[in-house]
Chains A and B, each alone.
Chain A
Amino acid sequence: MSDFENSALEIIIQSDTAEARRVQDVLEQGLQNVKAPDKDVFCIRLALEEALVNAIKHGNQMEITKKVFIKYTLDADVFEIMISDEGPGFDPNDVPDPTDIENLERPCGRGLMLMRHYMTEVNYNSIGNSVRMKKVFKKA
């Protein structure tokens, strides 16, 4: 096991967006406690929403009995999180670029792009049902 997995706190939820909201609130409180900069809290909140919705909706197909596994570490300088679902996974390289002219009007496909923009690192496991994201805080 990596250092991250050894020291991470774990939350397991059902595939329910109300539960995802509860996780967001817990993590946001944690970020406030370590005095993470407001801009970074904004970035993390957005990325988390996208990643949790992806896990619940696309990964677990909203099947309430399927679980989403959340592991995270948080200190004064960095926030790291791994969100895993029970779905078959996907290839993040296969997601069409939503900024291409032909895709611009498609209502889906922007979540991953926002996650990559707002977090310092975003990496998927090989089957694509677990995403690990890191945010290094920009202290003034």
Chain B
Amino acid sequence: MSAEPRKRRLEVEEIGDVTVVNFVDRKILDEQNIQIIGEQLFELVDAEGKKKILLDFKNVDYLSSAALGKLITLNKKANTSGGKLVLCNIRPEIKEVFEITKLDKFFKIKEDEQVGLQAFA
């Protein structure tokens, strides 16, 4: 049951000048998947030069520390390239993971997509 490396793990949509990213997976736990998700997220900044990225977590039920690591790296990449990363639609159980690790203070987290989009205005 190996993961399919070619499969898109992200759904990417442009709303104005903001790149809105939805996760395909409900559980961002599996190491292999996290690796692929990380690569696909980093490509948005490194290869495609996206500057304003809104990550929508509405599909996400689970998130592990390895996934948090990828988000931290993505945030650094976005900041280094003069861009901005915002997270939104995080359900309470997942929000708790950010709070425990104090990453709720590190990331810009907004309630929903609409408020998230306004954060780039």
Residues of A at the B interface (CB closer than 8 Å) are 17-18, 21-22, 39, 42, 45-46, 49-50, 53, 56-57, 98-99, 104-111, 113-114, 117
Q: Give the secondary structure class of B's interface.
A: helix
Tell which of A18, A22, A46, A57 touches B97, judged by Cβ atoms closer than 8 Å: A46
Tell me if B72 and A105 are in contact (CB < 8 A). yes
Tell me if A18 and B103 are in contact (CB < 8 A). no
Tell which of A17, A46, A107, A114 touches B69, judged by Cβ atoms closer than 8 Å: A107
A117-B69 contact in complex given A17-B30, A17-B32, A22-B1, C-beta closer than 8 Å:
no
Tell me if B32 and A107 are in contact (CB < 8 A). no
CB distance from A23 to the nearest CB of B (A): 12
Contacts of B70 in A (CB 8 A): 107
B31 at the interface (CB under 8 A from A): yes
B118 at the interface (CB under 8 A from A): no
Tell me if B103 and A104 are in contact (CB < 8 A). yes
Tell which of A22, A42, A50, A114 touches B93, judged by Cβ atoms closer than 8 Å: A42
CB distance from B62 to the nearest CB of A (A): 6
Tell which of A21, A39, A56, A114 touches B65, judged by Cβ atoms closer than 8 Å: A114
Alpha-carbon gap, A105 to B103, bound state (A): 9
Tell which of B68, B93, B101 touches A99, judged by Cβ atoms closer than 8 Å: B101
Contacts of B73 in A (CB 8 A): 107
A-B contact count (CB 8 A): 62
Q: 4 shortest A-B CB distances, which residue pairs?
A: A107-B69, A110-B65, A99-B102, A111-B65
Contact with A along B65-93 (1 / 0, CB 8 A): 11011101100100000000000000001
Alpha-carbon gap, A56 to B64, bound state (A): 15
Tell me if B64 and A46 are in contact (CB < 8 A). yes
B3 (CB) vs chain A CBs: closest residue = A18
A107-B30 contact in complex given A18-B2, A46-B62, C-beta closer than 8 Å:
no
A25 (CB) vs chain B CBs: closest residue = B1
CB distance from B71 to the nearest CB of A (A): 9
Contacts of A104 in B (CB 8 A): 102-103, 106
B29 at the interface (CB under 8 A from A): yes
B66 (CB) vs chain A CBs: closest residue = A53
B100 at the interface (CB under 8 A from A): yes
